[in-house]
Each structure stands twice: as C-alpha cells, then as structure tokens.
Amino acid sequence: MAVGLSGEIDPDPVAGVRLGSAPLGVRSDPRDDLTIIELAAGSRAAAVFTRNAFCAAPVIVAREHLGRQAPRYLLINAGNANAGTGSRGLADARSCCQAVAERGACSADAVLPFSTGVIGESMPMTRFPEAIDSAIGDLDENGWAAAARAIMTTDTVPKCISRHFEVAGHTLTVTGIVKGSGMIRPDMATMLAFVATDAAVEQSLLEDCLVRATQQSFNRITVDGDTSTNDACVLMASGAGGAPSIDDPSSDGARALCGAVSEVCTWLAQSIVRDAEGASKFITIAVREGRDEQECLQLAYAVAHSPLVMTAMYASDANWGRILAVVGRAGLEDLNIAAVRIHLGDVCIVADGERAADYTEERGQGAMAVDEITVTIGLGRGAAEAAVWTSDLSHEYVTINAEYRT
C-alpha cells in the first residue's frame, strides 16, 4: 500500500480545461488507458522532457509540435511506451496526433502525444480511432480523477491534487495529475505529469515557473535510479479564470502562481515515491553543510541509490555503517570525516566521524521502525543543503519488475 496515500482524490476543475478517458485495450486488465486533455483556444503550455538519448517517439513529436504552436489537445496512452520503435514509432505517434486533430478541428501540430508502458513494442494503431472518439465524447472539466486513473501503469493509487491562489481579487486554480512508480530517476521532470491553471500567463514566465518547480520537486526524487525514455511534465495555462494576465515575473501574481505550481509539483513528486513499486517507507535524504548544492545532491543520491542502505531501510535494520560507507565513497573531494554527523530522525548515529557516544541499538531501531524516515547528513564544510526523496527496496520491487511483462 502506498505510504501515506489513501488513493482518495477530489480534484478541482480548471476553467478552460476538459479531460476525457476511454479504454484503448493495451492493458491486460479492462480499464481506461487513454486520456485526452482539451485546452481552450488561446491557452499556453510549457513542457520539460527526458534527457534519455533513447527518448520515445511521442517525446520527439511533442517537442516538435510544441516548438511550432500552442497545443489544443494532449493525447496520453498507458501500457505501451512507443519507445525503441524507430521510424514506425514516429509515424504512429504522428498518426495519433492527426486522428485527434481531425476530430478536434485543429492542425496535427496542435496535438501533443504522450505514452507510458512497455518499451520496444509497436502501438496497436487499429484501436486508436474508436478510443479517441470515445475519449473526446467523454470530455468534461471534472475529468481529472478519471484521467489520473487512466494514465496509471504499476501505480497502486491515482495521484491528483489541487491548490488555489489569488490574483487581483480572483481565486485561481492549479490542478495536477501524475503517474509513476518505478523506473524513476527523472533528469527533468517525472514519468508523466500534467498540471493546469486557469490563470493567463506570459509564455516565458510560464516556462520559467515550470523549470523552477520541477528542479525542486520531480528532479529531487528517485526510486531505482533509472531515467525513463518517456519522462515528461507539462504546465498548461488556459487564461479562462477571469483574472488579468500575469506578465511580470516580480509581481505578487507571479509569486503566487509559481508558489502554487511548486506546491502541486512537490506533492505529486512525493506521491510517486510514496507509491513506489514495493515501497513500505518514504525516506528523505537531507544533506547539509556542504560546499555547494551539487555536492549535497551527489551525496544524497549516492545514499538513495545504495541497495545495501535501502534494503536495511526495508528491514528496519539500523545498520548505520552502510550509510557511513556511502558517505565515504560518494566522491566528495577533501572530505573531513571528523566533521561528519549523521542522524536517523532525531537520533544521532555518527558524530565526529564515528559512532555517536550516546547512540544505542535500541534508539536506532526505534528511529527505523516508522513509515517515514529522515536521514540527515551534516558535512561541516559549508552552508549549502539539498534533499532527495526516495523509498526502501523490498522483495515486492523485485517481483513487480521480474513479472512486469507476464
């Protein structure tokens, strides 16, 4: 069960945005696995994508289309990644966009495609026309919850949240959905995330808001260290909320918008870790007193990606020597081990480069026997800090991924 997530969602609609979902039939279980998001005319969008060299066909096409004009529709399918599919995959992604464009009375360039699922398999193109028709017929501003479920793969619960902010006396909304559970170490955003607001936002400000939000949210999570071929995060602004356009980055409106977007992205990013494949614990790795943020992140990810540390977390085994060993091998230059301090929760396990004088196994076990654990590492060599969110490594993670295609 997802750590700290109930699976109950009640998202608020975003004026100017409608969503429809339908069964495409890619998944073995009968459920909706295709979603269309419709944006009102005049909407703007910004997106960040995976940096994986083997990026999927829909990533390539979405980048191309977004560079040509503002989107009117987003097409998302789950179960098939359309990655590692060569020229045929590109042709299929473009064909799907054309099918939506014909039904939505827009150009194919106004459609952005997104896919997630198994890599290396061709898309079931004959099924798309009927599914697209059905999803378009289902378009509704209250379609967020259904869409959150339709984009899931190995996720156990849908992930969706809304936040509100004020601009010139108008209450505006930010609502977002995300899917992701395994193959998580984003190098831009996450598996697939879609966030929308009814604010009117100048394009460059929208882009900057998204980049800053993802840097501090989706780019701070990891489950297994694997960056997907399909990662994408889109921020859409319909402008249908009735408030004046947000054009000045230094304005109160811009700060309110970016604050709400960051809050939504952070919650969505953490929900991926909470619902990580086989996860039983939500873990924060916080590194402080570093020379710069980069070395703090370098160490935090080194700890988060250690199978020895994460299996100990799963077993609630306070084997603190494993953490100490990672700190030593993380590649930090001129590390003064005598200055290093490590805490599990509020329990100091290492001080002055060795086991803390008042540490006991009983206190360590108590700090590990909870669902949410914070590991804090003080380097004693600067003022920089950074945190990464991750999960434990369980038997179930191996089972899920060993049987993913069976």
Decide if 17-274 and 282-402 have a common fold: no
Active-site choice (35, 50, 190, 229)? 190
> Is 190 tagged catalytic?
yes
Between CA 86 and CA 228, with CA 89 as vertex, the angle to 5 degrees is 80
Residue pair 275/179 in contact by the 8 Å Cβ criterion: no
pLDDT given at position 188: 53
pLDDT given at position 406: 63
pLDDT given at position 189: 47
pLDDT given at position 397: 83
CATH (one of 3.30.70.1170, 3.40.50.720, 3.60.70.12, 3.40.50.150) for 17-274:
3.60.70.12
321-330 contacts at long range (C-beta below 8 A, 24 or more positions apart): 323/349, 323/350, 323/375, 323/377, 324/350, 326/299, 326/302, 327/299, 327/302, 327/303, 327/377, 329/302, 330/298, 330/299, 330/302, 330/303
Percentage of the chain beyond pLDDT 70 is 98
pTM recorded for the entire structure: 0.94
Concatenate the DSSP letters of all residues of 312-336 into one string.
Answer: HHHTT---HHHHHHHHHHS--TT--
Percentage of the chain beyond pLDDT 90 is 85
- The pairing of beta strand 73-80 with beta strand 384-391: unpaired
d(CA 50, CA 397): 23
pLDDT given at position 227: 79
- What does the pLDDT look like over 127-136, one tens digit per residue? 999 999 999 9
Distances in Å between the Cα of 129 and the Cα atoms of 140, 244, 276 are 19, 39, 33
**Looking at the predicted structure, is the pLDDT value of residue 251 above 50?**
yes
Q: Where are the domains of the chain?
A: 17-274, 282-402
- Which numeric CATH code is attached to 282-402? 3.10.20.340
